[in-house]
């Protein structure tokens, strides 16, 4: 019996973190990237990719629509030893999270602040975060450039960094892992994105 192909129709595309580590001649498609990662022994088993139970839950247990623009995050990164690692996550655009006024549990967040000479962060600060979505048994990812959202995560980081595992990653991001102990309520104030962070 022929094995049924995974149904990726719920996804609108791919998102890349760490694409600078991909070889320049690699076609950035899901099959080509997975094949390359497998051949280079950084993709070892299906626990690293979006397949199986994750796809089943996304297609059958949630009410995501095409306009929510879910993607697959393909994350290639260096660890502390300089070795490459590969992981995939379902990616929900931050605009979709705000549209649904989602209440999520933060697993980790990473910040890349752009600091001026006066010490003030600029508007292009980048925030990446992994989170648990209500009802899901697996981790999602997203990112935001919203100034207010970044500042609130930045301020919280400064107040709790001694309580959790923190590190500066090889790509320059500051990382903190909180394993769901921080809850985030995403909403809009007028036209602006905002977030309430709860411990």
Could you say which of 91, 124, 146 is where a domain stops?
Answer: 91
The Cα-based distances of 19 to 28, 53, 65, 86, 127 in angstroms read 9, 26, 27, 11, 17
Same domain for 196 and 105? yes
Same domain for 139 and 85? no
Same domain for 171 and 108? yes
Secondary structure, 3-state, 47-73: HHCCCCHHHHHHHHCCCCCHHHCCEEE
Could you say which of 34, 57, 91 is where a domain stops?
Answer: 91
Same domain for 155 and 63? no
pLDDT by residue for the chain (199 residues), tens only, comes to 445 678 899 999 999 999 999 999 999 999 999 999 999 999 999 999 999 999 999 988 888 889 999 999 999 999 888 899 999 999 999 999 998 888 999 999 999 876 555 555 555 689 999 999 998 999 999 999 998 999 999 999 999 999 999 998 888 899 999 999 999 999 988 888 999 999 9
Q: What are the pLDDT digits (tens) for 99-116?
A: 888 899 999 999 987 655
Beta-carbon count within 10 A of 22 CB: 18
Same domain for 185 and 117? yes
Q: What are the pLDDT digits (tens) for 32-62?
A: 999 999 999 999 999 999 999 999 999 888 8
Same domain for 130 and 185? yes
Our count of domains for the chain comes to 2
Q: Which domain holds residue 40?
A: 1-91
Our CA dihedral for 21, 27, 28, 30, rounded to 10 degrees, sits at -110
Mean pLDDT of the chain: 90
Same domain for 84 and 99? no
Same domain for 177 and 136? yes
Same domain for 8 and 81? yes
Could you say which of 61, 91, 121 is where a domain stops?
Answer: 91
- Render the burial of 158-186: b for 16+ CB within 10 Å, e for the rest: eebeeeeeeeeeeeebbbbebeeebebeb
Is residue 152 classed as helix, strand or coil in its secondary structure? helix
Which H helix or E strand runs over 148? helix 147-160
Same domain for 38 and 55? yes
Same domain for 171 and 106? yes
DSSP state of 151: H
Strand 84-91 versus strand 103-112 pairing type: unpaired
Hunting for tokens 């006024």 — which residue is that?
101
């Amino acid at each position: 019996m022929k094995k049924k192909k995974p149904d990726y129709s719920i996804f609108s595309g791919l998102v890349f973190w760490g694409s600078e580590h991909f070889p320049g001649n690699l076609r950035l498609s899901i099959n080509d990237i997975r094949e390359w990662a497998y051949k280079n022994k950084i993709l070892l088993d299906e626990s690293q990719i979006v397949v199986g139970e994750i796809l089943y839950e996304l297609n059958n247990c949630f009410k995501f629509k095409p306009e929510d623009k879910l993607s697959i995050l393909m994350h290639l990164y260096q660890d502390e030893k300089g070795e490459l690692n590969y992981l995939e996550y379902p990616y929900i655009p931050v605009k979709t999270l705000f549209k649904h006024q989602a209440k999520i549990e933060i697993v980790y967040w990473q910040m890349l602040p752009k600091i001026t000479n006066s010490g003030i962060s600029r508007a292009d600060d980048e925030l990446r975060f992994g989170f648990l979505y209500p009802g899901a048994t697996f981790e999602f990812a997203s990112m935001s450039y919203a100034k207010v959202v970044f500042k609130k995560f930045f301020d919280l980081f400064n107040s709790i960094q001694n309580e959790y595992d923190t590190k500066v990653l090889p790509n320059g991001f500051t990382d903190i892992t909180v394993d769901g102990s921080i809850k985030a309520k995403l909403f809009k104030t007028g036209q602006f994105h905002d977030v309430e962070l709860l411990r």
